[in-house]
Amino acid sequence: MAVLFTSDTHFGDHRVLNVGRRPFASVAEMDVALLANWNAAVAPDDEVWHLGDIARRAADVPVLLKCLHGTKHLIRGNNDPPGTASASGWASVADYAEIAVDGVSLVLCHYPFRSWNGQGRRALNLHGHSHGRLKPMQRQYDVGVDARDFRPVTLGELAGR
């Protein structure tokens, strides 16, 4: 079982085609690519932490969650409507989480931090929200699809191992 991270998929959201400068001709093309890329990267028994902004419409989320591989956790983003968090199919829902993967402490939030718990003890901050447009900081990684080839990634991929 692998643990993967992603953010800012924005399924069904036409606004990100321009905001994120995504290379898709339509929302339908984007959604098909995002779903295919997710399922190519994620095995059914993998765990995925989605750090917010999964879809424009909460009504679409239950069907999406059934189609996407893995056990899925949501860290809410600013564009997740209230019904998104209550959709069936999430293993957990929170605004913030601290977890460890392969002995590495991680601080997970939709938003990037200037400082975070454990930063001085080598903890990493994984975030979304910025669509790959923030200047990188040491031990901080944007896991949004715009910065990660439109797919979930492992900690090893983020850290270059």
pLDDT digits (tens, 9 = 90+) for 107-146: 999 999 999 999 999 999 999 999 989 998 999 999 999 9
Q: Distance (Å, rounded) from C-alpha 34 to C-alpha 56? A: 14
The answer to whether the beta carbons of residues 125 and 116 sit under 8 Å apart is yes
Assess contact for 46 and 40: CB atoms under 8 A. no
CATH architecture of the domain with residue range 3-158: 4-Layer Sandwich (3.60)
48: three-class secondary structure by DSSP: strand
Split at pLDDT 50, 70, 90, the class of 101 is very high
pTM of the model: 0.96
> What are the boundaries of each domain within the chain?
3-158
pLDDT bracket for residue 18 (50, 70, 90): confident
Position 47 scores a pLDDT of 98
Centroid of chain to Cα 54: 8
Count CB neighbours of 160 within 10 A.
5
| Confidence band, pLDDT 50/70/90 cuts, at residue 19 | confident
